[in-house]
Structure 1
Amino acid sequence: MDSKNYIELVRRMYAHPRLYGFFSEDEISEALSRYRSRIETILDRAEKESITREAYLLSSMRFVAKSVHRHYYSSNLSENAYVYSHFSEDAVLEVPADAFFDRNRRRIQDADTSGIGFSPQVFIGKLAPERRRLLYLVIKCAWDIDEELLGKCSYALGMPEQYLFNLIELVKRRTEASRSQIHQLNEKLNILWIRMRVLELRLDTAIAKSDREEVRSCLERCRKRYRQLLEKRSHRKSSISNEFISDLLNVPKGSVDSGLYYLRKNAQSRKPLAEYQELG
């Protein structure tokens, strides 16, 4: 990421907070502190959108602003989060999340889950198989989904958009450390790759035998370390594992595995997914 682009974005955000979805400079500071890596990713992607770069930045940063607003909202409710203990089967997929909060409430045992309002299991039992698979995929891609796509997924799943948004934010909060480790691992690989190319060039141009031996020894060490890191990365393909999705939704891991495998298999074979076209 170009640091100049980051600084320029920060300058414009402080100059026009509301344009980017923020209500105060304090919210911007919170976003820069809490979602630094996410903003950097947005900037990297924006560079690939040469025609719609500014529109992409605006919409994405407004989504970050919403994350800040949800964080404040969740923090305020963290000590008083309750779930409506009785609900009608017909209303589960139609009534907004706020309608589930009533005087007949019970405290959520898991404090981290309090931010999303109520357990995802409330929805899982009501979802058809194709919607369950879509939910698994949405969670799997939590770090890549944008505001527009989130709205479409919310409509297709029959979930309140605010609830799905909070669920995705919970996923990111729980997997941020793992994602950071993968990011650091990729950085090490990139640095090693560049170093190996430089050493190979030095090996080709070195004249003295002693210099060639020293460079060759260093190159072998880099290659060995590079292979080790590649092996390590091969076991950490995603910061959001199927086991994580299984634990989050309280469903068998086999259901998550088979659901995602079904989607991947049909997408790779280019078979039409008519059941998902109907959802949209």
Structure 2
Amino acid sequence: MGSRYGPAGAGKTTFSSALIQHLRNNKRSCYYINLDPAAEDFVYEPDLDIKDLITLEDVMEELHLGPNGGLIYCFEFLLENLDFLTDPLENVTEEYLIIIDMPGQIELYTHVPIVPSLIKALTKGSLNISMCAAYLLESTFIVDRSKFFSGTLSAMSAMLMMELPHVNILSKMDLVKGQMARKELKRYIDPDISLLQDAPTSGLVYEYKDGLDNGDPTDAQKVVSGDSFAKLNRAVGQLIDDFSLVSFLKLDAQDEDSVGAVLSYIDDAIQFHEAQEPREPNDDLGDGDMGE
């Protein structure tokens, strides 16, 4: 099973649709679940949709909650009515790849234990589903290093919180094609903390520079150029480097080979091929094809 999440606009639903099309092209079975209670437009109609149980719009209107509070309420409601999800999955066999489209709000994966509780319900007991989380970060973030490293930290935080095999993806690679040399792009694929040193272009300060003060708390510009901010960025960079958890795959959802390459990593993470039942040589032959 693959579960897709990441910041809003990262292309999660587009990737899910591309993945479904790729699976169909290769005659593989899939089961598509939408767990975003605010999602509206789908290329492929979900086999199971949380909106048949609860919608974010209804929650916000009836309980007077904001989008984030409403989303958390929707998932708490799902956990209280988990048979809505688990009962249909009892009949989904191992040859199916289960695709779960998740909301983009990162708080669900880094701040509250809701998604880990959901993961536990799906991976334990009678379902015993092998899961892989796919985190999507839009590739255009690489032109704003502060956004890129913020996304990298979010990926690492979610990896630690969810405790699942993880595939991190730079999506929409077609938008940055030809804009960056391959050698420079590699510094983002395997995040290179030395990128934080290029303060003028990154908007970040990694090292103390002569002539900069320690940051006047009443002056935003001085705060982000001061020594204390430099130390914070250095600590963040060291944290990413020490854990060495996050690296990215490149994805162009319009390119079937790119989608297939990402799928191969997901298959490996959930040990998909190892889980398939071995077939007898004549399993795929009809009676008329049998030898004498």
What range describes the TM-score normalised by the shorter chain of this pair?
under 0.3
Q: Higher strand proportion, which one? A: 2
Tell me the TM-score normalized by structure 1. Answer: 0.27
Q: Higher helix proportion, which one? A: 1
Rg (Cα) greater in structure? 1
Q: Which of the pair has the greater relative contact order for Cα pairs under 8 Å at 6+ separation?
A: 2
Tell me the TM-score normalized by structure 2. Answer: 0.26
